[in-house]
Amino acid sequence: MRSLRNRAAHHEPLLDGLPLTGQTDRRGRPRRLSLPDAHQEVLRLVEYVDKDVAAWLARSSRVPQALSVRP
């Protein structure tokens, strides 16, 4: 979650997903988590802290809408 926040805050590109630190694919390239998967992971982490907040966040998040209209 911190990596996603930092990349967004520093205006780094996210369209190709979020690189997973220390993980590589068979070709040696950084493994990446897709943005929809990253969003689901954030919701899952919030749910560990507070189920009501996670439910509210899932209902009010504009991330799925933004991802559906991306170029």
pTM: 0.72
Residue with more model confidence, 67 or 57:
57
How many domains does the chain contain in total?
1
Q: How far from 71 is each of 16, 25, 38, 64, 66, CA to CA, in Å?
A: 12, 26, 18, 14, 10
Strand partners, 18: 33
Given this model, what pLDDT does residue 30 score?
Answer: 86
Average pLDDT over residues 35-59: 93
- Entry field: residues in the chain: 71
Domain ranges, residue 33: 2-68
